[in-house]
Chain A
Amino acid sequence: MSDPKIEGYEFKPGFRGMADDTGSDQTMFKGVHWGKAMMWIFLLSDTFVFSCFLISYMKGRGSTPVEWPNASEVFGLHVFGVEVPLLLIAIMTFVLITSSGTMALAVKYGYEKNRKMCGWLILATAVGGLIFVGMQAFEWSKLISEGVRPWENPFGAPQFGGFFFMITGFHGTHVSIGVIFLFIYAYKTFAGHYDERKRGWFTTMKGDYVEIEILGLYWHFVDLVWVFIFAFFYLW
């Protein structure tokens, strides 16, 4: 959608365009910003990393004869004297989806060259990510204080802790890195680096609002991974 046109190259939609793109003895993805193509390749490899984690979790959980801890109770919270199952995880899910929505709007306003709106939405996304990481830190410290370790836990199968810390930790690291970059990009947007096409760090590439879309791809991917972790680890 965002791809600028190249002089002398007419992009055709559908399979015709795909054949032109892949079989023309030149570069693939003609007209696509290289950063965007590389972000997609990175996300594909990251998909494989997270898939391997979740598949090893499936195998670990499936092959133990000991009963698996009941996630609904382990991650439940006492609120005003009532035991609410999975409350913190539900709030985390909603926070992450909210930040994903603000990011999608930031990309849209970026392409419309609406600098202020784009910057505020990126900032909102960053704050959402920060809240998410904060709640995850709370969840980790709560579980650690209850005696959950990577090698043992009081609720059931000892493998639970190892998979929990590995998978949510890796996801949380992704969120943290995303938050750092969101703050940097919010600054760059407000400072007008993309309007002035100012050069970025370590690159000769001129600033462009396509960078917001590339950052957005990463952030939506983090949300996407959480959808799978939420389903398989917390609900299953």
Chain B
Amino acid sequence: MDETNKKEQTTTHKIGIYLWIWGLLFVLSFFSYMVDWYQFQGMLRWSLILIFMFLKAGLIMAFFMHLFWERYALVNVLLWPMTAIGCFIFLMAAEFKYTLFTRIFYFFIGGG
């Protein structure tokens, strides 16, 4: 890329948007700490942890890392590979259940 061909033309965003996201991140972190503080258990705990986690991750990526304003080519290059991670999680979740089953089976029934 030829440096001389570039024109100095950059836009910045208002400071308010950063402060809002910053504040929201604090509030969400506080909420996720409260999940532990009040010792919620079971499905309620897991769903709250996941919701706060994805909200925080989304806010950081969209606004602090500027993905919300980025070109689609970059956004798509970054986000589609994440589906491979989703598949991997799915596969390994099936795998650990099977490992746990065989361990418990041989601990109590024995190998014979």
Contact = CB atoms under 8 A, between A and B. Distances in A.
Indicate the size class of the contact surface on chain B. 35 or more
Interface in A1-36: 1-7, 11, 13-15, 17-18, 21-22, 27-29, 31-32, 34
B28 to A, nearest CB: 9
Contacts of B57: 224, 227-228
Contacts, number: 176
A21 B74 CA distance: 9
A86 interface: yes
B22 A17 contact: no
Interface of A: 1-7, 11, 13-15, 17-18, 21-22, 27-29, 31-32, 34, 37, 40, 44, 47-48, 51-52, 55-56, 58-65, 72, 85-86, 90, 93-94, 97, 100-101, 103-105, 108, 111-112, 206, 213, 216-217, 220-221, 223-224, 227-228, 230-231, 234-236
B53 A231 contact: yes
B60 A62 contact: no
Interface of B: 1, 3, 5-13, 15, 18-19, 21-22, 25-26, 29, 32-33, 35-37, 39, 45-46, 49-50, 52-53, 56-57, 60-61, 63-66, 69-74, 76-78, 81-82, 85, 88-89, 92-93, 95-97, 99-100, 103-104, 107
